Every structure is written in C-alpha cells, then in structure tokens.
Structure 1
Amino acid sequence: MVNAAANKRELIEGRAALIVIDIQASTFRDFSEVRSIDNMPGYADRMLAARTAIDAARASDIPVIFIQEVHRPDLVDFGRELDGQEDVHCLEDNPNTALAVEQMGVLPTDYVVPKRRYSAFFGTDFEILLKGLKVDTLLLVGGLTDVCVHYTFVDGHQHDYFCRVIEDCVGGSSETAHEASLVAMEYLQTGARRGLDETVAAMKAVAKSV
C-alpha cells in the first residue's frame, strides 16, 4: 500500500541542492577504449543532459555540488572496491579523473566534494556542507545509477533528506541495473524518480516564490 502522506510531498521540499555525482573527464573519453567500469548504452548523452539541470539550478539560485571520485595512485584507499566488477579507476594522477569542467560548466564558485567510496556521505564533509547550506532536498544526477547515485541516495534517505533522482540525467552500468536501482530508490521515497523537465519547472517555481 502506498503511503498517502508521501504522495503529498513536493518535488522540492524546503531548500534544494543539485548533486552532480562523478561526471568526470573519463565520462567523455573515446568510448572505443577499454573502460574500467561498464556503462549502459547512451551513458555519455545522459551525463550531457545533466548540464540542463545545472544551468537551471544556477538560474534558480540552487547550489550546485560536484562529487568527484578520486583515489591515491598507490591504491591504498580502494578497500574492497576492486573485489567486484570494477578495475582501477579515478587515480589522482590521471587527467581523466578531473571533473568534466567544460561539458558541465563547472565554476570556481561551485562546491566540490572529493570521495574515496561510493557514497558522497562516507568519509567526506558532504553533510557538513549540506547543513551549512540548510539543504532539505537532494536532486541527484550523474553516475552510476546502481552504484554511487544509489548509495548516495540511500545515505541521504537515512539522514532524513528528501531525495529525488532525475532519471533522464543518470546512467547505470547496464540498462537492467539502472532500472532496478531506480525502482529501489522509488521504494524508499515515493516520487523519488523525476523527469528533467518537471524538475526544471520545479526549480523555476521555487525561484519565483522566494
């Protein structure tokens, strides 16, 4: 049975922040190369669509927070991350680890949170930043849907944030994994799955109400 109270929630509750997860230079490198992490078809286009959300957030005075996965070259901070399907990735000394500055329009005034694990909350100052910005709603874009987006969503949920994933602007390791994670996130918060157009409209509505 669907919780009736959850259905009454707005797309944006209180103050929002747009969380751009792991859209890094490697996202747009030559896709003929062997990749350390599998990406679903159309992945890069989904990441490019996130630029629309970024521009809309800026126009609506919604803070943009870029999350960047980065690891030390001696691999000391990978932990169990390489025990599964992933190969070594996002090393500090690799230029592909940098944020996709040009494609995402990253500004010097944007917030950047580096992380060593999948969740943006784990071992970072992300929540300190969210508290300082008085954020209530996390609008999530980026990748992977079934890994870093999903785990950040879950931790946000468990820290009592309203969490929304813009499904046009996230991509998974496969289409199956992508859809399964979206279903799992929707289970945690009814109305978590949102489209880009309706999210941009909600951003504009919030800006007009201020």
Structure 2
Amino acid sequence: MADSSYEKFDIRKKNPNPKTSALLVIDMQNYFSSIAKPILPTIKTTINLCRNSQIPVIFTRHNHKSPSDYGMLGEWWNNDLILDGTVGSELLLEIGRRSGEKVVEKSTYSAFWGTDLEDFLKGNGISEVIITGVMTNLCCETTARDAFIRGFRVFFSTDSTATSTEELHEATLKNLAYGFAYLVDCKRLEEGLGKME
C-alpha cells in the first residue's frame, strides 16, 4: 500500500480547503498494528501537513464495551472484536496523537454512526474530510461513503490507508473515485495545501 495508485483511478481533481477541512485518522490502534505500521510514515506525514495548515486532526478508536453494542459485527467476525480497556483498543503510540486532539469512540464501521462526529464537524464549520487509517475497505470506506451521504466533500488518501490485501485496497479506491471521493496522496496533498497558502 506504500506506492500511490490514485493516478490509476483518478477521475476528478480537487484540493481540500484548509479552512473547512478536518483530517480523520481512522482506527490506528494496536489491534490493527500489522496493517497500520507499514503506513505510519505516510500517515504521520499527512498528519503533519494538516497540522501545519491548521486543519484539525480527529482520531477514531473502534471498541466494544459489551455484547449489546456488537451488532452485526459480532456475527460477522465471530465475536473476535476489540474490547474497550484492552491493549488492542489503544491508539498506536507511534501515531503521535497530541493532547487536546479529539478522539471519536465508535463501535461499527462508520465513524458517524452513533457518535457526535457530524455535530462536531458542522459545529466547527467543517464541510470537508480527509480520510486516512485502517482498514481501507471497511471503516475508512464506510466512513467516506457516510460522510458523502451526509453532505461532506470527501478526500481519501491512497497511501495513508491500508487493509489486508492490495486487491481490497485498490477495489475501494476504484469505487470511491467513481462516486464518492477525491483521491489524494501525501505528495498531492502537500502540493494542494501549498496552493491554498
């Protein structure tokens, strides 16, 4: 997932507006460390680019507090879920979350479902989201689609998202580029944010 592949699927080009954007860092947790660690360099670069452009950075943390919040995930993943309070549920220390940066607690694929994310974004004048993290085809993709449906402009990172296989990663990029999101990578984001200054 390290090589950018957005050019293969890029249909539309647009740059995020730092004044109306937020960066979503999806589920960079110990549970997903084997998938997350290869993209740490690019996701940290993306986070720093956004911080330098005064774009708020928001982290999500997927976890379950009891079987009552498993929903269909319990059936689908045979109850192999991330339980709150476990080491697996914690954000990777290497991701470098700063004190005061918002963490959205979620119990399903979308960072919007059952959380205050939409209210927080709209309350802060945010109309665009840049999506990074894991897993490309599950929580990242579902959050991107949900954001689009809720009226947010979506930018989806090709080199700061990752999943279990390149095939699944690229399938998501194809689908999102077709109807939901503008694709970006670190280089494109750096160039685009630089033009806004």
| TM-score interval for Structure 1 and Structure 2 normalised by the shorter chain | 0.7 to 0.9
Over 3 Å counting, the alpha-carbon distance change for 1:165 and 1:144 in structure 2 is same
Q: How far apart, in 1, do the equivalents of 2:163 and 2:129 lie?
A: 19
* Distance in 2 between residues matched to 1:90 and 1:185, nearest whole Å: 27
| Structure 2: segments with no counterpart, 5+ residues | 1-10
Task: Find the counterpart in structure 1 of residue 28 from structure 2.
Answer: 23
CA apart distance, 1:173: 2.7
RMSD of aligned C-alpha atoms? 1.9
Percentage of matched positions with identical amino acids: 26
Q: What's 1:12 paired with?
A: 16
What's the TM-score, normalizing by structure 2?
0.86
Distance 1:96 1:85, change over 3 A: closer
2:171 is equivalent to residue 166 of structure 1: no
SS at match of 1:76: helix
Structure with the greater alpha carbon radius of gyration: 1
Q: For residues 145 and 18 of structure 1, what CA distance do their matches in structure 2 show? A: 15
Question: Which residue of 42, 46, 49 corresponds with 1:56?
Answer: 49
Is 2:89 aligned against 1:89? no
- Distance in 2 between residues matched to 1:86 and 1:119, nearest whole Å: 19
Q: Which runs of 4+ in 1 moved over 6 A?
A: none
1:193 aligned partner: 183
Deviation at 1:86, TM superposition (A): 6.2
CA displacement at 1:83 relative to structure 2? 2.5
Corresponding residue for residue 36 of structure 1: none
Question: TM-score, normalised to structure 1's length?
Answer: 0.81
Match of 1:79 in 2: 71
**How far apart, CA to CA, are the structure 2 residues paired with 1:86 and 1:55?**
37
5+ residue gaps in structure 1? Answer: 1-5, 32-38
Q: 2:26 touches 2:140 (CA, 8 Å); kept in 1?
A: yes
Q: Distance in 2 between matches of 1:48 and 1:95?
A: 22
- Equivalenced residue count is 186
Which amino acid letter does the alignment assign opposite residue 146 of structure 1?
N
SS of the residue aligned with 2:164? Answer: coil
What is the deviation of 1:202? Answer: 1.9
Tell me which amino acid in the other structure corresponds to 2:15: L
